[in-house]
Structure 1
Amino acid sequence: MAHNRLTASADGAAGRRWLLLVLVATALGAGLVGTLSAERVLVVEDTATGEQYLTEPVDNGSTVALEYTHSVEKTRVYDGYRVDGETLVNTRMEFESYGWGLPARVNVTTVNGTFVYAPEEPITELDSLSVSPGRIAGHTLIVDGDRHDLVTATDARDVRIHIEHRSPIDRIP
């Protein structure tokens, strides 16, 4: 009988060591995941439902732009932004004619027939952009050179475009 108690005691100690090892490994793994940096993403989400249509990784300095056809003037408009933390800083606007919503009282240059507004010190920082993608306007979102058809991606629903930080845990499906 003493032999059985000795075996059971040895098995119990081995089980406790195994459990301790699993707990330590889990804690170390959680610590490692916690030290990984959060990913910054540009999010395009439905303003009414919050459904996310598009997420694109971005960094500080990434370029984000909206390109579309002006509804009245029927000319190309390009609004360029730079990611700065969790804000979008307006850095450039290109347009081919003056119309509603376009800057009329700022200094612009003309490059190949296109008006360009590119202030030395950007004055507009936005937490988010609200966009109503239009089938006629053909809104395109450009993220670091990659083009996304906003009309198709959102079925022309109103969207909010903003920056979020996502931890590695948030990225687990």
Structure 2
Amino acid sequence: MGHLSRSVAGAALLAAVVLVVGVAATAPAGDVLVVEDTETGEQYLSEPVDSGSTVALEYTHSVEKSRVYDEYRVDGETLVNTRMEFESYGWGLPARVNVTNVNGTLVYDPAEPITELERLSVSPGRIAGHTLIVDGREHDLVAVSNGNDVTLHIERRSILEMTL
């Protein structure tokens, strides 16, 4: 093989690699739930999700000192609030809605979604012990964020971004 043939073959190989990397960099691979610092934008956590995935926050209410479970469903790039469980009424909990008492836990399970959010802000507290649950996988949100305020949102990631 002559020098010119090797150069052409090398250039063709390089072009093929650039093409594959370019496709990987732009082709959508999937969605992730991103947890990032509200002030700095530093990303603390990203978890793969699908449309229909469950994202929940579980914590102890600061005044009532009782468990709160707030559940969302991933719908595209939106978090839809679908369920809330709490053990007593207090600030920030739904007081004017129909709830069901299930073994002492008040359950708000609306027929229609109550809130649709593109971004959800959370102030993880050490006393509250915020836990993030993504499709059953639990994350200590206080430890992950060092107690800093965070924003949760859904992002579409490319194959390259998912790989890196």
Q: Same fold (TM over 0.5)?
A: yes
Partner of 1:118: 109
The one-letter code sitting in structure 1 at the alignment partner of 2:100 is T
Out of 113, 132, 135, the position equivalent to 2:126 is 135
Question: 1: distance between equivalents of 2:44 and 2:152?
Answer: 10
Q: Which runs of 5+ in 2 are unaligned?
A: none
Pairs within 5 Å for 1:21-170 = 21-23=12-14, 25-26=16-17, 29-30=20-21, 33=24, 36-170=27-161
Deviations 1:103-151 (A, max 9, x none): 0111111111111001111131001111110111010000000111111
Deviation of the 1:87 alpha carbon: 0.6
Partner of 1:18: 9
Q: Which one has a larger percent strand, Structure 1 or Structure 2?
A: 2
Query: What percent of counterpart residues are identical?
Result: 68
Deviations 1:46-69 (A, max 9, x none): 111111111111000000000000
Secondary structure of 2:2's partner? helix
Secondary structure of 2:71's partner? strand
Deviation of the 1:72 alpha carbon: 0.6
Deviation of the 1:11 alpha carbon: 2.3
The one-letter code sitting in structure 1 at the alignment partner of 2:162 is R
Deviation of the 1:28 alpha carbon: 5.2
Comparing both chains, which one has the higher relative contact order based on Cα–Cα distances under 8 Å and sequence gaps of 6 or more? Answer: 2
Secondary structure of 1:99's partner? coil
TM score, norm. by length of structure 1: 0.86
Deviation of the 1:172 alpha carbon: 4.6
Secondary structure of 1:49's partner? coil
The alpha-carbon distance between structure 1 residues 91 and 24, as it changes in their structure 2 partners (threshold 3 A), is: same
The alpha-carbon distance between structure 1 residues 158 and 34, as it changes in their structure 2 partners (threshold 3 A), is: closer
Larger radius of gyration: 1
Question: 1: distance between equivalents of 2:51 and 2:136?
Answer: 15
Question: 2: distance between equivalents of 1:127 and 1:155?
Answer: 23
Over 3 Å off, 4+ runs? 34-37
The one-letter code sitting in structure 1 at the alignment partner of 2:47 is E
The one-letter code sitting in structure 2 at the alignment partner of 1:141 is L
Deviation of the 1:16 alpha carbon: 4.5
Q: Are the equivalent residues in 1 in contact too, given 2:121–2:150 (CA < 8 A)?
A: yes
